[in-house]
Chain A
Amino acid sequence: IHFVLLISRQGKVRLTKWYSPYTQKERSKVIRELSGVILSRAPKLCNFVEWRGHKVVYKRYASLYFCMCIDDTDNELEVLEMIHHFVEILDRYFGSVCELDLIFNFHKAYYILDELLIAGELQESSKKTVARLIAAQDSLVETAKEEASSLSNIIAQATKNEDMFGTISV
C-alpha cells in the first residue's frame, strides 16, 4: 500500500498516511487529483480506479471515502477487505463511528491504523487484538496522566474552571 486517504464527500481530507515517500507538494497534488476522480464517481460503480500506473481502491462509508493506493499486482478485493476491516475496528472503538469522531480524534484513528498496517502491510487481522492493544495503550496514557505532575492536574482543573467562567460570563 502506498498511502491511505480519508476524504469527506466535500473533498475535505480527514486522514492521510503515506507509506511511500512523497513530498508535501506531491501529496497535495495527489489528494487533489484523487478526490477529483473519486468524488465524481457515481455510486454503484466499481471501487477501483486506475491511476498513474497504480490502482486506487476506495470505498464509501456514510460521507467518508476510504482510499488506499496499491500496486497493480496487488489484490483489489483483499484491499477492499482491509478497508472494511479498518472501518469495523474504528466502529468498535468509537462505538458506531461517524465522521465527527474521526475529525476530533484524528490521532486515535492514526494509532488504530498504525496497529493495522505497518510499512504498508497488513499486520493485525484480528479485530480483537487491535482493540485490545489500543485499549492497553489508552490505559497507559491514562495512568501516565494520573501519575503526571500535580501541576498539570491543577492546570487541567484550572482550564476547566476557566471554561466554566467563560460560559457563565457569556
Chain B
Amino acid sequence: MAGSSSSIMDNLFQRTLDDLIKSMRLQLLNESTFISKSIEDIRREIKSTDPQTKSTALQKLTYLSAIHGVDMSWASFHVVEVMSSSLFSHKRIGYHAASISFHDSTPVLLLITNQLRKDLSSTNHFHASLALHCLSTIATLDLARDLTPDLFNLLSSSRVFIRNKAIAVVLRVFDKYPDAVRVCFKRLVENLESSDPQIVTAVIGVFCELSSKDPRPYLQLAPEFHRILVNSKNNWILIKVLKIFARLAPLEPRLGKKIVEPICDHIRRSGAKSLVFECVRTVITSLSDHESAVKLAVLKIRELLVDQDPNLRYLGLHALSVAAPKHLWAVLENKDAVVKSLDDEDSNIKIESLRLLMAMVSESNVVEISRVLLNYALKSDPEFCNEILGSILTTCGRNDYEIIVDFDWYVSLLGEMATIPHCQKDEEIENQLIDIGMRVKDARLQLVRVARDLLIDPALLGNVYLHKILSAAAWVAGEYVQLVRNPLELIDALVQPRTNLLPPSIRAVYINSVLKVLSFCLDCYLDQDEGTASSYCGNLAGGQSEMFHVKKHTEAPELVATTCEGSNYEQDEGFNPRNTTVESSDDLSDENDTDRAVTLLSMKNFTHESIVSLLNRIELIFSSLTANQDVEVLERARNIFAFVQMVKAEIIDNSGQNVDTVDKKYTQVSAVIKSIRDTFSMELGPVSISAQGRVAVPDGLVLKENLDDLKAICGDIELPSSSSFYTGGPQFGTASDTSSSNPLKNDESGPSNESTSLLEHRKRHGLYYLASDKSETVPNDYPPANDPKANSSTNDEADELAKLTEKSLLLKKRTNQVKPRPVVVKLDDEAAAPIPDKRPEPINDSLSGAIKDVLLGSEINLSVSRRNPLDKSSTKRKGKKKLGTDLPSEMKENLGDAEKPDLENPNPSSKNKERRRRGKEKIVEGEESDQRGKKKSSHRHGKHKTHQRANSPLNVVSQAPVIPDFLL
C-alpha cells in the first residue's frame, strides 16, 4: 500500500517533458545545476513501478541526452524495461531512447534480442516499425545474426512501409553480419522489380550504399539498374541509380556505351538541377571516354558557373575540378568564369576556384596565373590570402619545382610574397628559399638579391611572421656571399639595431651570416693586399682567391717557403682539386666569369679604412651581445668578437708598414681567415631523406633504445633546431652536422667555431648520437658538384649530381639564345622513396564475397541457409525464372569449364568459406572464363547473346546462372 501510494505521489508530482522544457527555458543562468537537479529527479522516478512515471522519466532523460548531451548510459536497463511495455506510447519512448543511447558495447543489448524479435513479428505493424528503426541504428553482429530470419520475413511484408524499412535495415545487417546476404539477398533483388516506387527507392538506396564499398558484385544487376534508369520518372531513384552506374562503369567498359544515351537524355530533358548535376558528375567521372557526352556535360557546367544561385556555382566549380585531371580543356575553356569566382563573396566558392586555378597551372602559364593570384591575395582577407599563397607555394614547389622554368622570376615572387602584409606562410617560404639555393645554382644570384632586399628593410623586422623568412634570407646571403654586390652593406643590414627584435634562434643565424660575410671581406681584402704586394694584376685568369693563392705559389715559391707555415701549405694543397677543375673544364669558365666579375666588383670597395671601421663597428656591436642570455647567440657572438679582436689587432698594428712586413705579419691572420673561408665556401647540397638509411648500422649500435632519459639531459638545451638552420629545411637536418664538424677538421686553430658547443655536447652524450661521423659524412661529404674527379669516387648520389650539372652546362653552351631551365638538383631516390601505394582492398571483402556467392550460385546456398529452407527453395525457383536462363543447355559446358581448375582444390567441403575468402581472385578468373563462355555460347544463342558470369574454379557444384545480357 505504501509503495503504491508513493508511486501515485510520484506520478502526481512528476514533471512532464513539457514542464521540464518550460522550466528549462526559464532557467537562463544556471542551466547546468538545473539539469543535474532534473537528473536527480529522473533517477528517482525511473525506478518507479508505474510504467507511466517510468516512461515519462525516460522521455525527459532522452531529451536531456539528445539536446544537452547528458550521459544516459546508466539508464540502459530502464530503457529495456520501457521498450518491453505493451503500450505503444511507452514502447515508442523506449525504442527512441534505445536508438539514441545504445551503442555496440552497451551490455544490455543481449537482453533485447527477444524483445526485438517479438516486436518484429508482431501483428501490430507499428510495433514492427519501431523495432526496425531501432535495429537500423543499434544492430550488432549478434543482433543481426539472430534477427536475420525475422527480417527476411518482413522483406516480403504486405505493408509497404514495413517492407521499406526492412529493406533499409538490411543495409545495416549486411554490414554487421555478411552471412545474412545468403538469406536475404534474393528477396532484396526481387523487390527491385516491385511496382511500388517507394520500395524501389529503398532497394536502390541499399544497393547504392553497398556499391560504394565494393561495386564489383553488382555488375550482374546492371540490366535491372538499366531498366530503372530508362523507365523511372522518380528523381530520387534516378540519382541513386546514376551513382551506382558511376561506380560500375569503370569496371565494365561495355556498360558505358549502354548508359551514355539515357544519361544524356536526362541531361537534356530534366528540369531538376539535382538530377542534371548527378548526370554531369557521372559523365565526367565515369564516362570520360565518351566525348559527346563530356561535351554536353561541360556545356551544362558552364550554365551552372554563371548561375545566380551560389549553390550551383559552387557545384559547377566542383564538377570542373573533378573533370580537371582528364579534361583540362574544360577548365581552360571556363577560365574566365573561374577567375571571376575568385571574387565571390563566398569563401567556399573562392577556395574551390583557387583549386581549379592551381590545377590549370602549367609551365607556360604559371607566371601569369601567379600574377593574377598575387593580386587577389593583396586585396583579400588574411585567411584567403594565405590560402592563395599556400597553394601557389605547394603547386610551384611540387616535384622539385617541376613547373618552374624561370627561377629568377620565382625567387622574386617568393620575395614579393614575403612582403605581403597578411602573409603567414613563413615556414614554407623559408624552406623554399633555402631549398632553391641549394638545388638551383643559377638562381643564386637572384636569390641573394632578393635576400638583400629583405634584410635591408628595417620595417620587416617588426613582423613576427617574417622572422623565419628573414632567417632564410640571412642564411642565403651568408652562404652565397661571393655573389653579393656589396658585402659591407649586407653586414650593416645584418647588425642593424632592430635585429634585437628577432628571436634568439634566428639571431644566431644572423650572427653566423655576419661571420661568413666578414670572413669573406677580410679574405678579399687580404688578397687585394697580397695582390699588390706581388704585383698581381686583377685581370688574371683566376679571379677567385684560392686560385690566386696557387698562382702566387708558382710565381714566388721562395716567398711562400719562407713565410707560409705548414698549415698554410696543407691548406693550399686542399684547394688543388678545385683548382684543376677550373683549369681543366672549360664548361665552368662562363660561370666563374660572372662570379669573378661580381667578386672583383665588390673587392674594389675594400679599402683599409673601410675594413678597419667595419671591424670596429662589429666589435662594438658584439661586445654588447657577449652578455646575451641565449646560448646560441652568446656563443656565436663571442666567437666573432674574439675573431674580430684578433684580426683587428694585427691589421691595425700593421697599418702604414711597408708591403713586405704586411705580407709577413698578415699570414697568421690570413691563415685563419682562409681556413674559415674554406669551410664556408664548401658547397652544401641537398641530402636525400633516405640517405641515412643506406648507411649500414655499425655493430653495437642500439637504435631502438629507449631515449627517455635523453630528455632530462637536453631539457634545457635548444637542440640542433637552431643550427640545423645552417643548412636548410628540416629534411636537410643531417647536413648541418657536417658543416659544423668540417671546420673542426680543417682548422683546429680557428678561434671562431660556432659549433664547439654542439661538438662538446656530442662528446659528452656520444651515446645518443647515431654514429655520427660514419652515417652523416658519407652522404654529405661529397665535394662541390663541379669536381669530376672526386665525384667518381663518391657514392651514386654525387654522381647523379655531377651528371646533372654537366648536362646543364652543356645545355647552356648549346643554346645560348634561349634561356634554359636551370638545373634543379634532384636526388634520384627522393622520389622513389615513398612507399608504393597499395591497391585499395575492398573494405568488406566478406560482404561482397557473400553477395557474389549468392549471385553466382544460388543453388549451393540452399544448404547454407539453414533457417528458411522452404522460403529459400521458392526463392530459388523464382530467381531462376527471373533470370530467365536455360540452364540445362549450359550445364555441361559450365561443368567442363569448371572442372579443370577444380583440381587445385580437392577439398570441396570447405569451399564456402574458401570462396568467401577468395572473393577477389575469383573475380579475375571469372572474367577469363567469361570470355570463354561468351565465345562458346554466342553461336548457340545467336542474337540472344548471353553474358556468362562464370563460376569460380572452386565453385564446382554450382552452375552460374546465365544472365541474359541485354546490355551487351
Residues in A lying within 8 Å of B, measured CB to CB:
13-16, 18-19, 21, 23-24, 27-28, 42, 44-50, 71, 73, 75-78, 80-81, 103-104, 106-107, 110-111, 114, 118-119, 121-126, 129, 133, 136-137, 140-141, 144-145, 148, 151-152, 155, 158-159, 162
Given contacts A107-B63, A118-B133, A155-B11, contact A124 B278 (CB under 8 A): no
Contact A155 B12 (CB under 8 A): yes
B569 part of interface (Cβ distance < 8 Å) = no
Give the complex CA separation of A18 and B66 in angstroms. Answer: 10
Contact between chains at A152 and B310 (CB < 8 Å):
no
Cα–Cα distance between A24 and B104 once the two chains are bound (Å) = 14
Bound complex: CA A126 to CA B202 (Å): 13
Whether B136 contacts A129 by the Cβ 8 Å rule is: no
Interface size class of B (residues with CB under 8 A): 35 or more
Closest to B172 in A: A119
Instruction: Please report the C-alpha to C-alpha distance between residue A51 and residue B88 in the assembled complex, in whole angstroms.
Output: 39
Do residues A47 and B311 form an inter-chain contact, with CB atoms below 8 A?
A: yes
Also in contact, A78 and B315, with CB within 8 A (given A24-B71, A141-B88): no
Q: How far is the CA of A13 from the CA of B103 in the complex (A)?
A: 22
Whether the Cβ atoms of A155 and B8 lie closer than 8 Å is yes
Interface string of B298-321 (1 = CB under 8 A from A): 000000000001110111000000
Among residues 13 to 30 in chain B, which have CB atoms less than 8 Å away from a CB atom of chain A?
A: 17-18, 21, 25
Q: Which residues of B contact A144 (CB under 8 A)?
A: 87-89
A81-B345 contact, Cβ under 8 Å, with A21-B103, A119-B136, A121-B205: no
Residue numbers in B under 8 Å from A136 (CB-CB): 126
Q: Contacts A73-B243, A106-B67, A125-B201; is A118 near B168 (CB within 8 Å)? A: yes
Interface check B524, CB cutoff 8 A: no
B52 CB within 8 Å of chain A: yes
- Measured CB to CB, the closest approach of chain B to A105, in angstroms, equals 9
Chain B residues within 8 Å of A155, by CB: 8, 11-12, 52
CB distance A24 to B52 under 8 Å?
Answer: no
Q: If A104-B18, A107-B59 touch, does A75 touch B274 (CB 8 Å cutoff)? A: yes
Instruction: Assess the A137–B348 pair: CB atoms within 8 A.
Output: no
Q: Quick check: A24 and B18 within 8 Å, CB to CB?
A: no
Interface string of B799-824 (1 = CB under 8 A from A): 00000000000000000000000000
Q: Could you tell me the distance between the alpha carbons of A24 and B106 in the complex, rounded to whole angstroms?
A: 14
**B862 smallest CB distance to A (angstroms):** 29
A153 vs chain B, min Cβ distance (A):
10
Chain B: minimal CB distance from A70 (Å):
12
Contact (A152, B136) CB under 8 Å given A28-B69, A103-B21, A106-B66: no
A78, B198: Cβ atoms under 8 Å?
Answer: no
28 inter-chain pairs at a CB distance below 8 angstroms, sorted by A residue, are A15-B67, A27-B69, A46-B310, A46-B348, A46-B349, A50-B348, A73-B212, A75-B278, A77-B273, A77-B315, A81-B274, A104-B21, A107-B63, A110-B96, A111-B92, A114-B133, A118-B133, A118-B136, A118-B165, A119-B169, A119-B172, A121-B202, A121-B206, A125-B197, A125-B236, A129-B161, A137-B126, A140-B88
Judge whether B132 is part of the interface by a CB distance below 8 angstroms: yes
Find chain B residues with CB under 8 A from A118 CB.
Answer: 132-133, 136, 164-165, 168-169
In Å, the complex CA distance between A73 and B313 comes to 17
Partner of B168, one of A16, A48, A119, A162: A119
B511 to chain A: closest CB distance in Å? Answer: 44
Q: Nearest-CB distance from B162 to chain A (Å)?
A: 11
B609 → chain A closest CB, angstroms: 63
A121 touches B93 (CB 8 A): no
What 1/0 flags go to B582-626 for Cβ under 8 Å of A? 000000000000000000000000000000000000000000000
B668 at the interface (CB under 8 A from A): no
Give the CA-CA distance A162 to B103 in the complex, in Å: 40
A122 and B12 contacting across the interface, CB-CB below 8 Å:
no
Does B171 reach chain A (CB closer than 8 Å)?
A: yes
What are the residues of chain B within 8 A of A14 when measuring CB–CB?
67
Q: In this assembly, does B414 line the interface, its C-beta being within 8 Å of a C-beta of chain A?
A: no
Chain A's nearest CB lies how many Å from the CB of B958? 31
User: A78-B278, A136-B126 in contact; A121/B315 too (CB < 8 A)?
Assistant: no
Bound state CA distance, A15 and B59, in angstroms?
14
Contact A78 B63 (CB under 8 A): no
A104: chain B residues within 8 A (beta carbon): 18, 21
Besides A119-B171, A148-B87, A151-B8, 8 other A-B contacts (C-beta < 8 A) = A14-B67, A24-B71, A46-B313, A77-B311, A106-B63, A107-B63, A124-B164, A148-B52
User: Which A residues touch B197, using CB under 8 A?
Assistant: 125
A13 nearest in chain B by CB position: B67
Chain B minimum-CB-distance residue to A85: B236
B348 pairs with A48, CB closer than 8 A? yes
User: Is B391 positioned at the interface, with any CB of A under 8 Å from its CB?
Assistant: no
A24 in contact with B69 (CB, 8 Å): yes
Whether, in the assembled complex, B873 has its beta carbon less than 8 Å from a beta carbon of chain A, the answer is no
Whole-angstrom distance between the Cβ of B773 and the nearest chain A Cβ: 46
Q: How far is the CA of A105 from the CA of B404 in the complex (A)?
A: 62
- The answer to whether B164 touches A123 (Cβ under 8 A) is yes
- Report Cα–Cα, A19/B273, bound state, in Å: 27
- What's the minimum C-beta distance from B316 to chain A, rounded to whole angstroms? 11
CB-CB contacts of B56-68 with A at 8 A, as 1s and 0s?
0001001100111
The smallest beta-carbon distance between A166 and chain B, in angstroms, is 11
Least CB distance, A56 to chain B, in whole angstroms: 11
**Is B410 part of the contact surface with A, judged by Cβ < 8 Å?**
no
Measured between beta carbons, the chain B residues less than 8 angstroms from A158 are 12
A107 and B93 in contact (CB under 8 A), knowing A129-B161, A158-B12? yes
Distance from A64 Cβ to chain B, minimum over Cβ atoms (Å):
13
Bound state CA distance, A19 and B205, in angstroms? 15
Most buried by B among A14, A104, A121, A155: A121
Question: In this assembly, does B875 line the interface, its C-beta being within 8 Å of a C-beta of chain A?
Answer: no
A81 to B58, CA, bound (A): 34
Question: With A and B bound together, what is the CA distance between A129 and B201 in angstroms?
Answer: 14
Most buried by A among B68, B89, B104, B165: B89
Residues of A within 8 A of B63 (CB): 106-107
Interface residues of B in 313-372 (CB under 8 A from A): 313-315, 345-349
Which residue on chain B has the smallest CB distance to residue A142?
B89
Chain A residues contacting B311 (CB-CB under 8 Å) are 46-48, 76-77, 80
- The answer to whether B348 touches A122 (Cβ under 8 A) is no
The answer to whether A78 and B136 touch (CB under 8 A), given A24-B69, A145-B89, A155-B8, is no
Q: Which residues of B contact A137 (CB under 8 A)?
A: 88, 92, 126
Contacts of B96 in A (CB 8 A): 107, 110-111
Q: How far is the CA of A128 from the CA of B313 in the complex (A)?
A: 33
Other-chain residue from A19, A42, A47, A48 in contact with B345 (beta carbon distance below 8 A):
A42
Closest to A72 in B: B318
B348 touches A49 (CB 8 A): yes
A140 contacts B11, C-beta separation under 8 Å: no
**A121 with B133: CB separation less than 8 A:** no
Bound: A133/B130 CA distance, A: 12
Are the CB atoms of A123 and B11 closer together than 8 Å?
A: no
Instruction: Verify B277–A119 contact, CB threshold 8 A.
Output: no
The CA-CA distance from A28 to B68 in the complex, in Å, is 9
| B137 interfacial contact with A, CB 8 Å | yes
**Complex: A114 Cα to B165 Cα, angstroms:** 10
Residues of A within 8 A of B349 (CB): 45-46
B526 within 8 A of A: no
Which B-chain residue is minimally distant from A23 (CB atoms)?
Answer: B103
Q: Which residues of A contact B137 (CB under 8 A)?
A: 18-19, 119
How far, in angstroms, from A124 to B234 measured CA to CA in the complex? 12
Among B50, B126, B236, point to the contact of A122 (Cβ < 8 A): B236
The 8 Å CB contact of A121, one of B89, B103, B168, is B168
Query: Which B residues touch A124, using CB under 8 A?
Result: 161, 164, 198
Smallest beta-carbon distance A42→chain B, Å: 7
Interfacial chain A residues near B429, Cβ < 8 Å: none
Contact of B165 among A27, A80, A123, A125 (CB under 8 A): A123
Name the distance in Å between B900's Cβ and chain A's nearest Cβ. Answer: 41
CB–CB B209/A75 < 8 A: no
Q: Find chain B residues with CB under 8 A from A133 CB.
A: 161
User: Please, what's the 1-or-0 string for B67-109, where 1 marks a CB less than 8 Å from any CB in chain A?
Assistant: 1110100000000000000011100110010000001100000
